[in-house]
A and B are shown apart, each in its own frame.
Chain A
């Protein structure tokens, strides 16, 4: 975001089209580069959440799994706020995994 964008925001004007272009490109390229469709990403997100939920109680509403890209490197970024741990011993873990 640039200084102009902030002033525009304060004045209730639209963001400059260049910064919209920048944001849209960053998002679409993150997907293009790893060749992952939004559906697959969503499926992966759900499976990741399932796995994590076996070990810790997470705030599903707040959780986010997204792709970010910088310098032609794409990273899968998961931000999952943990409420509390569910697992104390490894046998516990086997039960919940059934």
Chain B
């Protein structure tokens, strides 16, 4: 059944670049904007989305029981207490990987599409079966990467695969950006990465200690409406997803002091 539900895969190729953190924060931010959102943990091997959302103790059933038809969809869905517009579909037992097929993923996403406006799929790292299962059920994608050579290279590989699977639009989120390092040209800049990957930039997320603090608590930064740099970045990304036009801030173009201007001058590409 075709619905207008936006089914968005959050993937990266390389592990540990910030997919799950983005999924949790976007899920909460969208829910706060009043849209009915489901986050699906497709990382059956190493599930973590429940933990980042602080929902680990409230899981009764998982995607596994839904697929085996031993429970109904709404029995497995875990509704977030503070943001009831958000529900988590938890990943099943890692042994599910032995039999899980793309069509199983599609089935569960179809069920979610009937109830939600957004389905965000937290993809496992890699480009193997876990990725293939998840991509088969997705309509659009967000590729998360860091300004580092290995993460960018792996992102490029994933973008190629998304193109062959006909997933679009594919947008980029550049995570763990350190403005100071970019200014001293010891980190790839935002423009460098978007140029190399030739993808539209949905947003960037500043490297921020508060991300770790919020993970410790199981309360995504967007939940408290806090004002840390990363919190602002995540909610801007959610608003852009909703079609709002929020100007992108290029950290390397920030600042109006003489020092900042000089730094920018030094970054001018000559050839």
Using CB atoms and an 8 Å cutoff, list the residues of chain A in contact with chain B: 1-7, 16-19, 21-22, 24-26, 28-29, 32-33, 71-72
Q: Are A17 and B198 in contact (CB under 8 A)?
A: no
Q: Which residues of B contact A2 (CB under 8 A)?
A: 185, 266-270
**Residue of B with least CB distance to A28:** B153
Contact of A18 (CB < 8 Å), options: B156, B160, B192? B192
Closest residue of chain A to B187, judged by CB?
A: A18
Q: How far is the CB of B251 from chain A (nearest CB, A)?
A: 13
What is the number of residues of chain B that contact chain A, defined by CB distance less than 8 Å? Answer: 25
Asked whether B100 is an interface residue with its Cβ less than 8 Å from the other chain, the reply is: no
The interface bits of chain B over 130-158 (1 if a CB of A lies within 8 angstroms of the residue's CB, else 0) are: 00000000000000000011001100110
Question: Does any Cβ of A come within 8 Å of B271's Cβ?
Answer: yes
4 other A-B residue contacts (CB within 8 Å) besides A1-B271, A21-B188, A25-B196: A2-B266, A4-B185, A28-B153, A71-B198
B138 to chain A, nearest CB (A): 20
Q: Give chain A nearest CB distance to B207 CB in angstroms.
A: 16
Instruction: Report the separation of the CA atoms of residues A54 and B185 in the bound assembly, to the nearest whole angstrom.
Output: 48
Cβ distance A28 to chain B, nearest Cβ, rounded Å = 6
B12 contacts A by Cβ under 8 Å: no
B149 to chain A, nearest CB (A): 5
| A24 near B149: Cβ-Cβ < 8 Å | yes
A1 nearest CB across to chain B (Å): 5
Query: A18-B187, A22-B196 are contacts. A3–B153 as well, Cβ < 8 Å?
Result: no
Asked if residues A22 and B268 are in contact (CB atoms below 8 Å), the reply is no
CB distance from B102 to the nearest CB of A (A): 23
User: Which residues of A sit under 8 angstroms from B21, Cβ to Cβ?
Assistant: none
Residues from chain B with Cβ under 8 Å of A28 in the complex: 153
Asked if A16 meets B186 with Cβ closer than 8 Å, knowing A2-B269, A25-B149, the reply is yes
Would A1 and B270 count as touching, CB distance under 8 A? yes
The answer to whether A33 touches B156, judged by C-beta atoms less than 8 angstroms apart, is: yes
The closest CB in chain A to the CB of B268 belongs to: A3
Given contacts A2-B269, A29-B196, A71-B198, contact A22 B153 (CB under 8 A): no
**B267 and A4: CB pair below 8 A?**
yes
Chain A residues within 8 Å of B196, by CB? 22, 25-26, 29
Residues of B within 8 A of A6 (CB): 270
Residue B189 at the chain A interface, CB threshold 8 Å: yes
Question: Do B270 and A21 have beta carbons less than 8 Å apart?
Answer: no
Known: A25-B149, A71-B198. A32 touches B188 (CB 8 A): no
Which listed residue (B187, B192, B269) contacts A1, Cβ 8 A? B269
Q: Which chain A residue has the least Cβ–Cβ distance from B265?
A: A3
Cβ of B241: which chain A residues have Cβ within 8 Å of it?
none
Inter-chain contacts of A5 with B (CB < 8 A): 270
Task: Report how far A1 CA is from B266 CA in the complex, Å.
Answer: 10
Which B residues lie within 8 Å of A72 (CB)? 159, 198
